[in-house]
Chains A and B, each alone.
Chain A
Amino acid sequence: MTPPAAPSTRREAFGSRNVFILSAIGSAVGLGNIWRFPYVAYEGGGGAFLIPYLCALLTAGVPLLFFDYAIGHRYRGSAPLAFRRLHRAAEPLGWWQVLICVVISVYYAVIIAWSAMYTWFSAQLTWGKGNENDFFFVDFLQMGDVADGGVSTDFVPQVGVPLIAVWLVVIAIICLGVKRGIGAANMVLMPLLTVMFVVLVVQSLFLPGALDGLNAFFTPNWQALADPAVWASAYGHIFFSLSVAFGIMVTYSSYLKRKTDLTGSGLVVAFANSSFEILAGIGVFAALGFMAAAQGTEVAGVATSGIGLAFIAFPTIVSNAAGGSMIGVLFFGALVFAGVTSLISILEVIVAALQDKLGWSRIATTLVVSIPLAIISMALFSTTTALAVLDTADAFVNAFGIMAVAFVAVIVVAWVLHKLPTLQAHLNQRSSFKIGTIWKLLVGVLAPIVLGYLLFSELRSKITEPYGGYPEWFIWVFGWGMVIVLIVGGVLLSLLPWSTKSRAKQDPDYDEFLETEGHEPDPETGALRTIDTEAGR
C-alpha cells in the first residue's frame, strides 16, 4: 500500500473562538440532553433537583471541562498525544478514551438513523394511531431475542439504509477538516437545532395539559435532597452531559488558537448545554402533560426517558396532538441534528489520534478509521438484535469506560504526576475567568471522590443483578468483556512505537508554541529538531 501523503506541519484549527464554542456546544448537546435530562430531573425531585444539578455543574462539570481544555490546549494534541506529552506513562489514558469513542460511535450512529427514519414517519404518521409500541419493536426494528438465537445477522433494511447515510454524512464532514467540516457543520446545525427546538417547545406549551406536565416537572420534592442517590444522579448526569473525560474536549481544544480565552469559553459551553437541557425539560414535559391528559392519567404514569420516550411516547403524542406531524418532525429532526454534531466530535477523537500517530493526511486517516467503524456499526446495529447490543454496550461503556477513565485520569494527573499547577497556570495565562486553589481541590479531591462513589455504585449494581435480564454470556461479551478490551487495548496501543513522521516526533508547530510560551522544549520533537539542526550545520 502506498503511504498516504504527509500532512501539513501546522495543526488544523477552528476558524474562530466562536466556531469552537459552537462546536463544543454541539458536542455537549446530544441525545442525552433531550431524552435523559428531563426524566432524571423529574425523578430527582423536580424543581428541587435544580440544587444538586447546579452544584454538580459548578463543582464537577465546569472544573472537569477546564481540566480537559487545559490538557488539549497546553499539549496541543489528540488525547493519546496530549497525555503522552503530559507524561509518557499517561499515554494509555488517551488510547483508552479513543477506544471508548470507538464503541460509542458505532452505536450512536444507529440512534441517529432511527431518528432520521422517525422524522419521515412523523410526517406520514406511518406507525398508525395506537400502534406506536408494536410499530417500533416489531415492524421497524424487527426485534429478536438474544436469549433465543444469539446475536443476529438478519439485516433490517429500514435501519441499515439510513445507517449507511448517517455514516456517509459524518465521514464527509470529518474529511472536510476542522474548519470547513466540523466548524462549518456546527455553524449550520446548531442554530438550526436551537430554532427547531424553540418552535417545538412553543408548540408543546399550547397543547392541552401542557401546564400539568410543567407542574409535575417543576414542583419541588425537597425530601429528595436528603437522598444521596439524587446527588449522585445529578453528578452522573452533568458528567455525561458535558462530554468530559473521553477525549472530545481535549481534541477540540487542541484546535484552538494559542491566545484563546479557555475558561471564558468553557463557561459559555457549560451554561449553553444546561440551558438546552432546561429547554428540553420544558418541551418534553409539556408534551408528556398532553399525553397524560389524552390518556386520562397522571403525568407520573407516562413519564419516561431514553428510547421509550423518543420512540414510543413521542410518536403517541404525535398521533394524538393537533399538528402532531409538525411536533414529530421537529422533535426527531432535533434528535438527528443533536446526534450528528455529537457523533462528529466522537469520531474526530479517533481520527485525530490516528492522524497524530501515523502522520497521515486527514482524508486518508478518516477513511481508514471510519469505513471499518461503519462496517462494524452496520454488522451489529442493522440487525434484529441491535437494541440489546446497544443497551448493554451503552450501559457498560458509560459506567466502566467514561466514568472509570475519568476517575483514573484525575488521580493520575493530580496525584501521581502533580500537573494541576501547570494546567492551572496555562488556563490563567490566557483566560478571563481566573481559577485558583478551589479548582485544584474540585478536580483533585471532589472529582475523584464523586467519580469513585459513582463507579462503586455501578459496579455493585451490575455485579449483584445481571444487566437488563440478558443472558450471562451476552453481558460478558458486550458488557464486561468490552470494557476490559478497552483498557487492555489502550495499554497495547500505547506500546506501539510512534513513527518519525508522527506528530509526537515531528511537530514544528508545537516546538514554536513551547518556545513562544517560554516552556522547556519537548523531549521528543525538540530532540529531533536539535539533531536536524546539527546535521545541517
Chain B
Amino acid sequence: MTPTALVMMAIAMLTVWGGLIAGIVNLAKHPEEEGHEPQPPVEL
C-alpha cells in the first residue's frame, strides 16, 4: 500500500470508529434511568 492510502485508511478508521467509541463512552456516562415507568406488556 502507498503511504497516502495508508494514511487515508488510518484517518477513516480513526474518525468513524473513534466516533463510535466516543458515542458509546457518552452513553455510558448517561446510564438509562430505571424504574420510572410501568413494565410494557408482552403480547404472547
Q: Which of B36, B41, B42, B44 contacts A363, CB < 8 Å? A: B44
A290 to B13, CA, bound (A): 22
Min CB distance B1 to A, Å, is 5
Q: Determine if A47 and B12 form an interchain contact, defined as CB atoms under 8 angstroms apart.
A: yes
Q: Which residues of B contact A278 (CB under 8 A)?
A: 12-13, 16-17
Q: Determine if A271 and B42 form an interchain contact, defined as CB atoms under 8 angstroms apart.
A: no
Q: Determine if B1 and A215 form an interchain contact, defined as CB atoms under 8 angstroms apart.
A: yes
Q: Determine if A264 and B43 form an interchain contact, defined as CB atoms under 8 angstroms apart.
A: no
A270 to B26, CA, bound (A): 14
Chain A interface residue count, Cβ-Cβ cutoff 8 angstroms: 49
A211 at the interface (CB under 8 A from B): yes
Q: Determine if A10 and B38 form an interchain contact, defined as CB atoms under 8 angstroms apart.
A: yes
Q: A218-B5, A267-B19, A432-B26 are in contact. List 5 more A-B contacts (CB 8 A).
A: A17-B27, A48-B8, A211-B1, A215-B2, A264-B26
Q: Which residues of B contact A274 (CB under 8 A)?
A: 16, 19-20
Q: Which of B9, B19, B36 contacts A218, CB < 8 Å? A: B9
> Can you identify 16 A-B contacts, CB atoms within 8 angstroms?
A8-B41, A10-B38, A11-B40, A50-B12, A54-B16, A176-B44, A179-B40, A180-B42, A218-B1, A267-B19, A268-B27, A270-B23, A271-B17, A275-B20, A278-B13, A433-B26
Q: Chain A residue with minimal CB distance to B21? A: A271
**CB-CB nearest 7 A-B residue pairs:** A47-B8, A13-B40, A8-B41, A271-B20, A218-B5, A271-B19, A268-B23
A519 at the interface (CB under 8 A from B): no
Q: Determine if A219 and B43 form an interchain contact, defined as CB atoms under 8 angstroms apart.
A: no
A260 to B13, CA, bound (A): 29
Q: Determine if A267 and B26 form an interchain contact, defined as CB atoms under 8 angstroms apart.
A: yes
Min CB distance B25 to A, Å, is 10
A363 to B40, CA, bound (A): 17
A258 at the interface (CB under 8 A from B): yes
A46 to B32, CA, bound (A): 39
**Given contacts A8-B43, A10-B41, A47-B5, A264 and B15 within 8 Å (CB-CB):** no
Q: Which of A11, A46, A261 contacts B27, CB < 8 Å? A: A261
Chain A binding site: helix, strand, loop or mixed by DSSP?
Answer: helix
A521 at the interface (CB under 8 A from B): no
A363 to B43, CA, bound (A): 8
Chain A 34-69 near chain B by CB (<8 Å), digits 1 or 0 = 000000000000111010001000000000000000
Q: Which residues of B contact A275 (CB under 8 A)?
A: 16-17, 19-20
Q: Which of A47, A261, A264 contacts B9, CB < 8 Å? A: A47
Q: Which residues of chain B have a CB within 8 Å of any CB of chain A?
A: 1-2, 4-6, 8-9, 11-13, 15-17, 19-20, 22-24, 26-27, 29-30, 32-33, 36-38, 40-44
Chain B binding site: helix, strand, loop or mixed by DSSP?
Answer: helix
Q: Determine if A177 and B42 form an interchain contact, defined as CB atoms under 8 angstroms apart.
A: yes
Q: Which residues of A contact B8 (CB under 8 A)?
A: 46-48, 50, 218-220
A419 to B15, CA, bound (A): 33
Q: Which residues of A contact B30 (CB under 8 A)?
A: 261, 264, 432
Q: Which residues of B contact A17 (CB under 8 A)?
A: 27, 32
**Given contacts A257-B37, A259-B37, A218 and B6 within 8 Å (CB-CB):** yes
Q: Which residues of A contact B26 (CB under 8 A)?
A: 264, 267, 432-433
A16 at the interface (CB under 8 A from B): yes
Min CB distance B30 to A, Å, is 4
Q: Chain A residue with minimal CB distance to B13? A: A278
Q: Determine if A268 and B20 form an interchain contact, defined as CB atoms under 8 angstroms apart.
A: yes
Min CB distance B37 to A, Å, is 6
Min CB distance B33 to A, Å, is 5
Q: Which residues of A contact B38 (CB under 8 A)?
A: 10
**Given contacts A8-B41, A271-B23, A432-B27, A219 and B15 within 8 Å (CB-CB):** no
**Given contacts A12-B41, A50-B8, A177-B44, A264 and B23 within 8 Å (CB-CB):** yes
Q: Which residues of A contact B16 (CB under 8 A)?
A: 54, 271, 274-275, 277-278
A362 at the interface (CB under 8 A from B): yes
Min CB distance A49 to B, Å, is 9
Chain A 5-35 near chain B by CB (<8 Å), digits 1 or 0 = 0011011110011000100000000000000
Within A145-180, which residues are at the interface with B (CB < 8 Å)? 175-180
A211 to B33, CA, bound (A): 47
Q: Determine if A260 and B32 form an interchain contact, defined as CB atoms under 8 angstroms apart.
A: yes
Q: Determine if B15 and A177 form an interchain contact, defined as CB atoms under 8 angstroms apart.
A: no
A265 at the interface (CB under 8 A from B): yes
**Given contacts A50-B8, A180-B44, A219 and B2 within 8 Å (CB-CB):** yes
Q: Determine if B2 and A362 form an interchain contact, defined as CB atoms under 8 angstroms apart.
A: no
